Amino acid sequence: MVQFASDGRPLPSPTPVSQPFFDGARRRELMLQRCPRDGFFHYPRSRCPDCLGDDWSWEKASGRGELHAFTIDRIGHDPALSSRIPFAIGVVELEEGPRMTANIVGCELEDLRVGMALKVEFEDVDETTLVRFTPR
Amino acid sequence: MGKDAGAIIGLTEWTPKRVWDEPMFGMEACARLAAEALEDAQMDKDEVDGLVIAGLQDSPMFAPSALAEYLGIRSNFNEVVDLGGATSCGMVWRAAAGIEVGACDTVLVLTPSVPQPPKPEARKGPGKMRMPPYLGGDAWGSPQGQHEIPSGLVAATPGFALAASRYMAFHDCTQEMLAKVAVDARHNAQSNPRAIFRGKPITVDDVMNSRMVADPLKLLEIVMPCFGGAALVVTNKSRAQRAPHRPVYVSGHGEHLTHKSITYAPDLIDTPVRIASERAFRMAGAEREAVDLASMYDCYTITVALTIEDAGFCPKGQGGRFVAERDLTWDGGDWPLNTHGGQLGMGQAGNAGGMSHVTEAVRQIQGRGDGQVPGAELAFVNGNGGILSEMVALILEGA
């Protein structure tokens, strides 16, 4: 589900399973689930997507990764974000393995390159905290 | 699969339009499509005993039974398919398979994509076709709503742009090469009286100069959403032999999916059409070289380059060079692709847009194409749903 921030942008509605991810972001920690057999996974799930085991635990990730793919939204595909264009959407491959979708900030749009080194950063929006990445 | 499976013998297809000034309820649209397709097949409605649909706005639950009741059909085989842009190709093989296993004998495959009549209290007239940007990801509990939508990864174009960025970073592919897909599609659309871009050919420069929408994808590399509709009649071998048009058999099919969001694809640029196509060719016992005509889902130019290489028509990484160097036109091209103009040239009328790749291949094999390619006996057809996520491949062959 999507809720909308006081500035109009879409925000996540955490579920009981995903709440620790968003709580971690509020503390400036990037949290990932880790399965004892299959390693880290993202996004948060009730069971490991490799073995369907439920004996995973939450661990703090390094926050480092690289830009796996990116685009720049020039038109505002989500009308709720059209006031923020142009902005960069990235697929980030984390050092721990999983990929995540996040905005790439703190970088000229022309300087974005597949493979560039990134580090996590956080932005508080109302009661929620968004995970973003910036060059390192 | 093969010639004991179902054959496509009749079809209808409506001209795509940006604004549909004749709103119809889903069941009304299905009734008109059914009457037209059965007329084309010269088949009596009472012979129909199967329905394959993609849901109905006017009966969101119990759709097949509601439709059977409305159309007066005693149906033995009833499927609702939910595969995004791959829905139409997914419907075709399910119909053929239902016939092959003896579940039914004649199936109507229906893809209405028209707006419903406005509610009595509505004040606005008919609007343009627009897809809701969240594509179901705003449901409570949806991972997409929590992890994709807040960053703006919504609708379809940004996701395809992500794949394009990675593809172009690792392979010999330029924006000019991809632009050629759109140029050849528009060329082919000039032969199609139903194409929304008939009378509007374009050049590579036009594509390059069109507005950047989501880097590296530009406006003329992106389909135009439209309204429209299409239907097929699929029947068994004995009934197919008395049809007025040449029966077109579904001799192979494959379907594969692993993810909804491109972020979680096993590999962003090794698409599920690879496995879908391997399965389809193996089932049909056909080689890539035997393909006379390709009818590939072309929601974006990058989709075509990836489909050509992942379906095995050129080595991995050479799809960009392939589309740039081969002539994809219907009139003299050495590799005719989307002879109806594709959806890039004809318009993307919802599921009927995906179905246009099937109807065109059928018309070509039946010898009644608008831009007819000589000797079209065997066609490769595919559908792509989601963000390179749901892929169906079909091999269609003339009897």
* Mean pLDDT value across chain A: 97
CATH of the domain at B43: 3.40.47.10
Q: Which residues of B make CB contacts under 8 Å with A?
A: 133-134, 137-143, 145-155, 157-158, 161-166, 169-170, 211-217, 261-264, 268
Q: Does A46 touch chain B (CB under 8 A)?
A: no
What is the pLDDT, as a whole number, of residue B190? 98
- pLDDT tens per residue, range B9-68: 999 999 999 999 999 999 999 999 999 999 999 999 999 999 999 999 999 999 999 999
Question: Is residue B131 predicted with pLDDT exceeding 80?
Answer: no
Closest Cα in chain A, distance from residue B149 (Å): 7
Residue in A39, A38, A21, A41 with CA at minimum distance from that of residue A30:
A21
Identify all chain B residues contacting A44, using CB atoms and an 8 Å cutoff: 143
CB within 8 Å of B228: residues ≥ 6 apart: B13, B14, B15, B16, B17, B113, B114, B347, B349, B350, B352, B353
What is the pLDDT, as a whole number, of residue A23? 98
- Judged by average pLDDT, the poorest of A117-121, B124-128, B276-280, B359-363 is B124-128
Q: How many domains does one find in chain B?
A: 1
Give residue B74's identity as a one-letter amino acid code.
R
> Angle at the Cα of B175 (from B171 to B180), degrees rounded to 5?
105
Domain range for B282: 7-117+223-398
Closest Cα in chain B, distance from residue A95 (Å): 16
CB atoms within 10 A of CB A62: 12
- Judged by average pLDDT, the poorest of A100-114, B133-147, B277-291, B360-374 is B133-147
Structure tokens at B191: 């032969």
| CA contacts within 13 A on the Cβ side of B150 | 27
Rounded Cα distance between B63 and B158, Å, is: 32
- pLDDT tens per residue, range B87-97: 999 999 999 99
* Mean pLDDT value across chain B: 96
Q: Is B287 inside a domain boundary?
A: yes
Q: Is B186 inside a domain boundary?
A: no
Q: Is B176 inside a domain boundary?
A: no
Residue matched to tokens 């709720």: A80
Give residue B310's identity as a one-letter amino acid code.
D
Closest Cα in chain B, distance from residue A76 (Å): 8
Structure tokens at A115: 């493979």
Identify all chain A residues contacting B146, using CB atoms and an 8 Å cutoff: 12-15, 18, 43
Domains with residue ranges and CATH for chain A: 17-135 (2.40.50.840)
Nearest chain B residue to A76 by CA: give it.
B152
Question: Is residue A2 predicted with pLDDT exceeding 90?
Answer: no
Q: Does A103 touch chain B (CB under 8 A)?
A: yes
Give residue B59's identity as a one-letter amino acid code.
S
Mean per-residue pLDDT, A75-90: 97
Rounded Cα distance between B324 and B171, Å, is: 14
Closest Cα in chain B, distance from residue A5 (Å): 10
- Judged by average pLDDT, the poorest of A92-96, B58-62, B116-120, B285-289 is B116-120
**pTM of the prediction?**
0.97
Question: Is residue B136 predicted with pLDDT exceeding 90?
Answer: no
> Angle at the Cα of B22 (from B84 to B371), degrees rounded to 5?
65
Question: Is residue B4 predicted with pLDDT exceeding 90?
Answer: no
Mutate to test the interface with B, among A89, A99, A114, A127 (most CBs of B within 10 A): A89
CB atoms within 10 A of CB A8: 12
Rounded Cα distance between B183 and B180, Å, is: 5
Give the DSSP letter string of B119-134.
PTT--S---B----TT
What is the pLDDT, as a whole number, of residue B125? 73
- pLDDT tens per residue, range B238-294: 999 999 999 999 999 999 999 999 999 999 999 999 999 999 999 999 999 999 999
Mean per-residue pLDDT, A23-32: 98
Pairing assessment for the beta strands B106-113 and A99-104 based on DSSP bridges: unpaired
Q: Is B88 inside a domain boundary?
A: yes
Q: Is B199 inside a domain boundary?
A: no
Choose among A12, A78, A114: nearest Cβ to B152: A78
Q: Is B163 inside a domain boundary?
A: no
C-beta separation of B83 from B23 below 8 A:
no
Is the ipTM of this structure higher than 0.95? Answer: yes
- pLDDT tens per residue, range B161-177: 999 999 999 999 999 99
Choose among B139, B153, B264: nearest Cβ to A89: B153
Q: Is B160 inside a domain boundary?
A: no
Give residue B306's identity as a one-letter amino acid code.
L
Instruction: Give phi and psi for B379, each to the nearest 5.
Output: -120, 145
C-beta separation of A113 from B168 below 8 A:
no
What is the pLDDT, as a whole number, of residue B95? 98
Spatial strand order in the sheet of A57-60: A39-41, A31-35, A57-60
Q: Is B310 inside a domain boundary?
A: yes
The CA-to-CA distance between both ends of chain B, in Å, stands at 13
Task: Reduce the DSSP state of residue B188 to 3 states and report it.
Answer: helix
Question: Is residue A109 predicted with pLDDT exceeding 80?
Answer: yes
What is the pLDDT, as a whole number, of residue B353? 98
What is the pLDDT, as a whole number, of residue A1? 67
Give residue B210's identity as a one-letter amino acid code.
S
